[in-house]
A and B are shown apart, each in its own frame.
Chain A
Amino acid sequence: MSAADDQLLEELLAGKHRALARTISKIENRSPGYRDLVSKLYAHTGEADVIGITGSPGAGKSTLVDKLAETYRERGETVGVIAIDPSSPFTGGAVLGDRIRMASTVGDMDVFVRSMSARGTLGGLSTATADAVKAMDAFGKDKIIIETVGAGQNEIDIVRTADTVGVLVPPGSGDSIQTLKAGILEIADVFVVNKADRPGADRTVKELMEMIDLGEGGGFGGGSGHHGPDATDHATHDAGDAADVGGSNADSADADVSDGDASWRPPIVETVATKGEGIDELLSEFATHQTYLEESGEQAENARQRYAEEIRTLLREDVNALLEERLQDAGGVEALADAVRTGDTDPYTIADDLLEPVEECLEGLKTEETPETSSQS
């Protein structure tokens, strides 16, 4: 690690805001040496509770996050917020506007708000978010809130970085079929019906309750196949598995951690974020979920899965970059694409040809390693 990075790390651990900001920039930019920096951060992490807040645009996420941060501060805890907004797929530009709603805590440097955008790399944002969370954790933040529009696989991957996920459902967001449809509900540990002073809030709460109850009876969360491949997993569980409908505990289902009594049933909390109503209740539900995670052993399991995913993502990105070089050596992707266009060859043949030497290399590695590994295992 370079001397400059060493100093940056030292300053970050000493609590300098500028150093934290700069570290997150390095992570976002993937500037040279950021990997060494992040791997050094890991030794100082593990203290913070990470909370994800997600919901459709206009559901009131930023306002709610603002109030959450304010309440944590009143309790004497420091807060980090990572607010994620989409970027334009055309220019790469973005307007990150979440900060505007976070007015309660301005002037308080112990609330560190950082806006991030996707920067066009698929999957790259979830790695960057996870790393930024590590940076804030190492900095010494007690609570870290990730705020994101929960649309699409990419965003859901981001929110999985969190220990506890709150999903905002505004009143009048469609009938129960609509809520069944949205994949976003499957990641909820806590449902938040925000803007609860609006007409239709009662109905939304009722519909969510019905959904959760349905899952509890195993009605559709079980073997009826609506959940695709996961459904068979859930079907093997007893009917008391309340979280089936939310699917939030799908991870634990694989690991057989939960039994019927201990499994998590996503509570529904009504809030009016603009007036600060229901915030204390929401925080206590978050705390309850945190306790549940610790006691059920799910936290360890979730962490393991998360790190496994991080390792895979990193490897995939690295291998992609290596292959990109290989592609350049082979004359660039455009020449190859043109060959396909003119009918000389096809994409499968090209892929096979390009990968053949790589596969041979791997084969070579395997035969070299075999004697050692077999003696170990």
Chain B
Amino acid sequence: MSSEQEAESIRCLVSKVGLDGHDRGAHVIARAFRDAGFEVIYSGLHKAPDEVVQAAVQEDVDVLGISILSGAHNTLVPKIMDGLEEYGAKDDTLVLVGGVIPDEDRPALEDEGVAAIFGPGTSIEETVDFVRENAPQR
């Protein structure tokens, strides 16, 4: 019906997972996403994979950004991906990983279903553009 105004907005969850207290990067991203007009939910520090999955499912986010600087990405990311699958949310959530991820670990994460990995030095514009272009159409 013509009277239904659509008011869509890209929803993102920016999450910090595991024993990693460095959240400056996550804050910068959260703010940049907000300024790009997205709705950003920030998880807070030291979340368990289950908690991140719970938030992503309940908030029905289009984009899940996982910030990891602790080096535990090979353990934590697969747990999150499994959790998303359990709730049927894996296929239409764009999962991004940010942080210090060695090159040799990247293929395995991408196999798990991570859409992109943004390392140190990535520009804000690049990240925002990637989200705009790849946010799932539902």
Given contacts A25-B60, A35-B4, contact A107 B50 (CB under 8 A): yes
Within 8 A of B (CB), among A245-270: none
Given contacts A17-B87, A100-B44, contact A32 B4 (CB under 8 A): yes
On chain B, the residues within 8 Å of A109 by CB distance are 54
Within 8 A of A (CB), among B17-48: 30-31, 33-44, 47-48
Contact of A325 with B by CB under 8 A: yes
CA distance A120 to B5 in the complex (A): 12
Contact of A291 with B by CB under 8 A: no
Whether the Cβ atoms of A99 and B35 lie closer than 8 Å is no
Q: State which of B1, B30, B35, B58 has its C-beta within 8 Å of the C-beta of A113.
A: B58
Given contacts A25-B60, A99-B43, A114-B59, contact A30 B7 (CB under 8 A): yes
Residue of A nearest to B55 (CB): A99
Residue of A nearest to B8 (CB): A29
Given contacts A21-B59, A106-B51, A121-B5, contact A93 B42 (CB under 8 A): no
Given contacts A112-B58, A325-B2, contact A93 B51 (CB under 8 A): no
On chain B, the residues within 8 Å of A351 by CB distance are none
Complex interface: stretch among A84-92, A147-155, A232-240? A84-92
Whether the Cβ atoms of A31 and B8 lie closer than 8 Å is yes
Within 8 A of B (CB), among A268-293: none
Taking the nearest CB of chain B, how far is it from the CB of A265, in angstroms? 37
The bracket for how many chain B residues form the interface is: 35 or more
Whether the Cβ atoms of B57 and A92 lie closer than 8 Å is no
CA distance A365 to B9 in the complex (A): 39
Contact of B88 with A by CB under 8 A: yes
Whether the Cβ atoms of A92 and B37 lie closer than 8 Å is yes
CA distance A34 to B3 in the complex (A): 12
Whether the Cβ atoms of B41 and A93 lie closer than 8 Å is no
On chain B, the residues within 8 Å of A35 by CB distance are 1, 4
Whether the Cβ atoms of A100 and B58 lie closer than 8 Å is no
CA distance A121 to B5 in the complex (A): 10
CA distance A271 to B42 in the complex (A): 27
Interface of A is mostly: mixed
Contact of B6 with A by CB under 8 A: yes
Q: State which of B39, B43, B50 has its C-beta within 8 Å of the C-beta of A93.
A: B39
On chain A, the residues within 8 Å of B2 by CB distance are 321-322, 325
CA distance A322 to B5 in the complex (A): 11
Interface centre among B36, B44, B50, B59 (most CB of A within 10 A): B59
Given contacts A18-B89, A21-B59, A88-B34, contact A96 B54 (CB under 8 A): no
Within 8 A of B (CB), among A113-130: 113-115, 117, 119-121, 124
Contact of A318 with B by CB under 8 A: yes
On chain B, the residues within 8 Å of A29 by CB distance are 6-9
Residue of B nearest to A105 (CB): B54
CA distance A22 to B60 in the complex (A): 6
CA distance A96 to B40 in the complex (A): 6
Residue of B nearest to A124 (CB): B7
CA distance A106 to B96 in the complex (A): 22
Contact of A94 with B by CB under 8 A: yes
CA distance A322 to B1 in the complex (A): 10
Mark contacts of A298-340 with chain B using CB atoms, 8 A cut-off: 1 yes-contact digit, 0 otherwise. 0000000000000000000110011001000000000000000
On chain B, the residues within 8 Å of A87 by CB distance are 39
Taking the nearest CB of chain A, how far is it from the CB of B132, in angstroms? 13
Given contacts A18-B57, A25-B60, contact A119 B9 (CB under 8 A): yes
Taking the nearest CB of chain A, how far is it from the CB of B76, in angstroms? 15
On chain A, the residues within 8 Å of B38 by CB distance are 93
Mark contacts of B81-99 with chain A using CB atoms, 8 A cut-off: 1 yes-contact digit, 0 otherwise. 0000001110000000000
Since A30-B6, A106-B54, A322-B2 are in contact, a sample of 18 more A-B pairs with Cβ atoms closer than 8 Å, ordered by chain A residue number, is A17-B87, A21-B57, A21-B58, A25-B11, A28-B7, A30-B4, A31-B6, A91-B35, A93-B34, A93-B36, A94-B40, A96-B42, A97-B42, A113-B55, A120-B7, A124-B7, A317-B3, A321-B4
Q: Can you pick out 21 interface pairs between chain A and chain B where the beta carbons lie within 8 Å of each other?
A: A18-B60, A22-B60, A28-B7, A30-B4, A32-B6, A34-B4, A91-B34, A91-B37, A92-B37, A93-B33, A93-B36, A95-B31, A95-B40, A96-B42, A106-B51, A107-B54, A109-B54, A117-B39, A120-B7, A317-B5, A321-B4
7 residue pairs, one from A and one from B, having the closest CB atoms: A321-B3, A100-B44, A21-B60, A93-B34, A318-B3, A106-B51, A25-B60
